[in-house]
């Protein structure tokens, strides 16, 4: 069967972090970057920068000279993860990213979520000495993929799995807010996150949502049996100011090319 060619767009609803695992980052101590090069952050605290995926190898942090991309394998992995048997052949091209669409930012996480530390739950920078390059929310980009079957099967299955994961996180947050948190500021953070997840699930119910990249936490890494889920201790990373999980993207404008 010949492959059908499709074009589409990725629209990030929250910041997207995609860093190659083999890359150990740029280190201030090694002279890979200077504090004056990262003025937008609290530069005196940053010791390591983890870059977005990039073509080539660079000895120092040079974002204005770097070629960035979203790996097609990351998108393909998200699309086929819910297909159980004999998936149709699927190929996804890399997507070039403009340097101006990236943001060097710090990770935020709901810290101290275990019951033993419930009084100190807070939303704060995670790894304060680390900065990560991320694709900004709202910075859409176009891509191509090739499939020997109708690609809608992949899209619908992946979308349902994403909605189920978001529902799982929603339920975990509701339980945490009810049982574990007494700090008013933390309750507000969790309530805002719950409300935004509900809004996304309602607004994009009939579209295609995917979770890409890292820093999503265990509760968004898979679907868990209810008996295991109740015992699940998990980190919750929160993109600020979107107040959503990192790596939540929408696939839009899907067109088969003749």
Please give the average per-residue pLDDT across 76-90, as a whole number: 80
Distance CA 107, CA 123 (A): 10
Distance CA 25, CA 66 (A): 14
Q: How confident is the model at residue 24 (pLDDT cuts 50, 70, 90)?
A: confident
* Global pTM value: 0.89
| Averaged pLDDT score across all residues of the chain | 86
Please give the average per-residue pLDDT across 37-42, as a whole number: 72
Residue of 173, 249, 245, 165 lying closest to 204 (CA atoms): 249
pLDDT of 149 over the 60 cut: yes
Distance CA 110, CA 243 (A): 11
Query: What does the angle CA 163 – CA 164 – CA 170 come to, to the nearest 5 degrees?
Result: 90
The reported pLDDT for the residue numbered 117 is 46
pLDDT of 111 over the 90 cut: no
R_g of the chain, CA atoms, integer Å: 19
Please give the average per-residue pLDDT across 138-165, as a whole number: 92
Distance CA 8, CA 30 (A): 41
SS3 content of the chain, % helix, strand, coil (to 5): 30, 30, 40
Q: Exposed e or buried b for every residue in 135-168, given b needs 16+ CB within 10 A?
A: bebebebebebbbeeebeebbebbbebbeebbeb
Please enumerate in sequence order all residues whose Cβ is within 8 A of that of 127, keeping only pairs 6 or more positions apart, or say none: 106, 107
């Amino acid at each position: 069967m010949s492959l059908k060619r499709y074009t589409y767009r990725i629209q990030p609803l929250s910041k997207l972090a995609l860093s190659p695992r083999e890359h150990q980052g740029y280190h201030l101590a090694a002279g890979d970057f200077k504090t004056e090069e990262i003025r937008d952050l609290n530069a005196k605290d940053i010791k390591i920068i983890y870059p977005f995926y990039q073509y080539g190898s660079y000895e120092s942090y040079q974002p204005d000279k770097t070629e960035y991309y979203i790996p097609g394998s990351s998108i393909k992995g998200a699309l086929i993860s819910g297909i159980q048997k004999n998936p149709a052949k699927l190929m996804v091209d890399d997507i070039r990213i403009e340097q101006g669409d990236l943001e060097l930012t710090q990770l935020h996480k709901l810290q101290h979520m275990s019951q033993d530390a419930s009084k100190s739950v807070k939303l704060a920078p995670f790894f304060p000495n680390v900065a990560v390059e991320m694709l900004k929310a709202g910075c859409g980009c176009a891509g191509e993929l090739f499939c020997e079957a109708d690609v809608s099967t992949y899209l619908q299955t992946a979308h349902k799995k994403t909605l189920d994961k978001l529902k799982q996180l929603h339920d975990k947050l509701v339980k945490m807010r009810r049982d574990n948190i007494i700090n008013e500021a933390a309750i507000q953070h969790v309530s805002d996150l719950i409300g935004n997840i509900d809004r996304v699930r309602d607004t994009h119910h009939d579209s295609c949502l995917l979770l890409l990249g890292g820093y999503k936490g265990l509760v968004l890494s898979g679907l868990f049996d209810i008996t295991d889920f109740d015992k699940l201790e998990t980190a919750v990373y929160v993109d600020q100011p979107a107040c959503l999980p990192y790596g939540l993207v929408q696939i839009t404008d899907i067109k088969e090319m003749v």
